[in-house]
Structure 1
Amino acid sequence: MVDKNSLRAAFSERLHEALNDAGVRSRGRGVDIHRQLKTLGVEKTTQAISKWLNGESMAEADSMSALCSWLKVRREWLEYGVLPKKRTAESNICQLKINDESNVREVDQRFGKVPLISWVQAGAWCEAISNFESYDADCWLSCPVAISTHGYALRVLGDSMTNPGPGRSYPTGCIIFVDPEAETKTGDRVIARLSRTNEATFKVLVEDAGRQFLKPINPQYPIIDITEETHICGKVVGSFIPE
């Protein structure tokens, strides 16, 4: 399951760090944030802001963008802990290293949010695409890449996708973004639901002698045959490792 308290506490620590860097006073910070956000057109109660500072909740999309603009930090750092911290001169466009086909791409910071769900939920997601838009998740993340409205995020568990050598790797704790509407092909990282379990699994889609398999990056784990009962739930379109 997602550790929501850890995400909120980490966000609070980074928010305080950014406020310290900006020279914002320690006492009365909630009032100062409220005043500054109001000048940027974002109306938030002091109670809501207090919860950010105390690690009880995370700022919503509009507030997050306003905080980053005011404190001159990158949204990926403030929300996720992805370095570097400071914004470049190009305030609306940033460069973010993403483990996808392009490795590094320019992305607009205004992508929508997707729910961070469990692996059991991801297995059910394969059959419930019609209910995606109304899904009520406890934690929503801003996706740094283009993704369909039915996209979602997962936190990697275990080391089957950890590369013991050089190359692309997805260690435990890594966040991956999944697009169930993206077309998949051989070599893609995919989420699949196996016939023997209700949970989803994260593997590389490979083909050999006309047959398809699910291959882990870590060679210590077995390759899985794809059968008629195997369901490909989506393509992994991006990832990042939280600080």
Structure 2
Amino acid sequence: MDKWIELVKDKMGEIKITQEELGERVDMSQGGIGHWLNKRREPSIEDMNKVLKALGMDFLEVAMVLRERLDTPDDEMPMAQKYNPYFRYPVSDWQETGICEDEPGQYRFELTDYYARGAAFWLTVSGDAMTAPSGLSISEGMLILVDPDVAAEPGKLVIAQWSSSSEAVFRKLIEEGGQRYLVPLNPTYPKALFTDECRIIGVVVQATIKF
């Protein structure tokens, strides 16, 4: 709920829309919108998604998840429905990373509870350049979530692309001796100097695997 509220408030500020104007778009009073955004009342999942759509964020979706809770003295319900903001982001490809807002129907979507700062998208890891013998390792077939608006600082996992290449790469950004490099987690692959000919498409903020 908090993530949804933060997302809605940020977007309202970005497009300069008032609570009253938002209410008109979703057939709700200004007071009702205010109750939701101040957590005095909880909107239904349907209403939360109507608000996202009204703000032009059709690519996001709030979903309900079922979780089993452990029994405690204060908890007499072994099963409970938990409402948790889940967002959906499109699955892109390595040749055309990102999303084309004019063609939303061409994508499949995956859910996550990560609230993106920008127009986030998923990629499916290809190859073993980021498969490490120990420690952090992201293997082929895993899904990685890329947020273009997260600052690409040394130590972050990033998606980068050279101007001479039609395909992006997945690497770790590091800094050594005042120079920045793109480094694979697999030590059998070479590291590359990060130059002006290379751009960072986004920072990898989450990795998951589908069964």
Normalised by the length of structure 1, the TM-score is: 0.53
Query: Which structure 2 residues correspond to residues 155-174 of structure 1 after superposition, within 5 A?
Result: 155-165=124-134, 167-174=135-142
The structure 2 residue matched to 1:234, chosen from 199, 202, 206, is: 202
Code of the aligned partner of 1:111: Y
* In 2: Cα distance, 1:207 partner to 1:41 partner: 44
* 2:170 aligned with 1:202: yes
Code of the aligned partner of 1:92: K
Tell me which structure has the larger Cα radius of gyration.
2
Q: How many residues align?
A: 147
Secondary structure of 1:173's aligned partner:
coil
Residues 115 and 137 in structure 1, CA contact (< 8 A), matched pair in contact too: no
Higher helix fraction: Structure 1 or Structure 2?
1
Note closer, same or farther for the CA distance 1:212–1:140 as it changes in structure 2 (3 Å cut).
same
Q: Which runs of 5+ in 2 are unaligned?
A: 1-43, 47-59, 69-77
- Shift of the alpha carbon at 1:168? 1.1
Q: Which residue of 2 aligns with 1:78?
A: none
Q: Which runs of 5+ in 1 are unaligned?
A: 1-39, 43-59, 74-87, 94-108
Higher strand fraction: Structure 1 or Structure 2?
2
Code of the aligned partner of 1:121: E
Code of the aligned partner of 1:205: L
- Shift of the alpha carbon at 1:179? 0.3
Q: Which residue of 1 aligns with 2:74?
A: none
- Shift of the alpha carbon at 1:241? 1.6
Q: Which residue of 1 aligns with 2:147?
A: 179
What CA deviation, in whole Å up to 9, does each residue of 1:34-75 have, x standing for no partner?
xxxxxx998xxxxxxxxxxxxxxxxx957x63xx54xx67xx
- Shift of the alpha carbon at 1:89? 5.6
* In 1: Cα distance, 2:194 partner to 2:175 partner: 10
Note closer, same or farther for the CA distance 1:90–1:226 as it changes in structure 2 (3 Å cut).
farther
Runs of 4+ deviating beyond 2 Å: 88-93, 131-138
The structure 2 residue matched to 1:92, chosen from 82, 89, 92, is: 82
Secondary structure of 2:130's aligned partner:
coil
What CA deviation, in whole Å up to 9, does each residue of 1:67-120 have, x standing for no partner?
x54xx67xxxxxxxxxxxxxx867437xxxxxxxxxxxxxxx313211001111
Root mean square deviation, CA, Å: 3.0
* In 2: Cα distance, 1:200 partner to 1:61 partner: 27
